[in-house]
Amino acid sequence: MAEEYERLAAELNTLLAQPPTANSVADMLHADGSYTYDNTTDSLEAIANAIAGMATLSDKEKSLLGLGVHPGFQDFFNDVAEGGDPTTDNWTVIENSGAVAVKHLTSYLPGSLDFIDGSSTGNDAIAHTLGKRMFTLKEGVTTIFLKARVRFNFQAGATGVQIGIGFMEGDAAPASMADIIAAAKEVASIVINNSAAACYASDGSTAESDDLSSFISDNTWVTIEIRITASAVTFYTADTLRATLNTNVPSANWFVAAGCTNVVGSGNEILDIQWIQVWAE
């Protein structure tokens, strides 16, 4: 009996050695030599609770980081020189007597993509992501989002689509901004049409639209958002729902397009995009 006691005492002295030695309990409970154990922070239960409480990535964050089924992208237009084209990782530029260029003016922080068409009818300034950044409802994706900080500067008295931003069916690059509301294209877009703001959706045969002129003003910054699901396209400004189109809902492989086309025959249309995010959830 005495021998068993001595053996257990020796094991306890090793386990709970003072001062602590390698592999003793005290040594395992502390990161330094202070040995100030606090069960509210240092116990296994406290550590497990802290890990469980760590924030997990949202579906949006996963998509924008290129994780999960459907990678998204975001652009703040701060990675090229003043006056340069936007990054070719995301964008293809079409300049038909118009201009598409990155600006770094302090009022546009952290950067801005500036579109300005030419002064003759049909002059364009367009950028799109066809073949570079494509989006579709697949593999459990229920919603495709586009959110951007934009400013539309348009002429009065126009007939036709002057400025637009949104999703287009991924079969061909836009020939003009008129394509971004075309019934034959499966689109979801926010535009300036006939000198008024509107939203459009098309299922490839028929287009529907709604008026946004109460929420989008000329030469005024606004945050817009487009959401596509299998049953509806919804449109937001300032994080507030403004319109729902659910009769002719697109179902396609989309790219993002933005730009302006001169339909007046003089003057200019201008589109500024301060930042853009496109993702899937």
What pLDDT shows up at residue 137? 94
What pLDDT does 52 receive? 76
Question: How far apart are the C-alpha atoms of 194 and 104, rounded to whole Å?
Answer: 31
Higher-confidence position of 51 and 196:
196
User: What length is written for the chain?
Assistant: 281
Q: Are 277 and 58 in contact (CB under 8 A)?
A: no
Average pLDDT, integer, range 64-84:
88
Instruction: List, for residues 119-139, the tens digit of each pLDDT value.
Output: 999 999 999 999 999 999 988
At residue 33, does pLDDT exceed 80? no
Residue 31 clears pLDDT 80, i.e. is over it: no
- Tell whether the model's pLDDT for residue 107 goes beyond 70: no
Over residues 152-180, the mean pLDDT reads 95
168-192 average pLDDT score: 96
Three-class secondary structure of residue 181 per DSSP: helix
Most confident range (mean pLDDT) of 2-16, 23-37, 47-61 is 47-61
What percentage of the chain exceeds 70 in pLDDT?
86
More confident residue, 49 or 174: 174
Q: Residue 19, preceding bond cis, omega within 30 degrees?
A: yes
Q: Per-residue pLDDT for 13 more than 90?
A: no
From start to end of the chain, where are the E strands? 73-75, 92-96, 99-103, 112-116, 124-128, 134-135, 144-153, 161-169, 188-193, 196-202, 207-211, 221-228, 233-237, 240-245, 254-261, 270-280
Of 120, 163, 114, the C-alpha closest to 267 is 120
User: What's the mean per-residue pLDDT of the chain?
Assistant: 89
- pTM > 0.95: yes or no: no
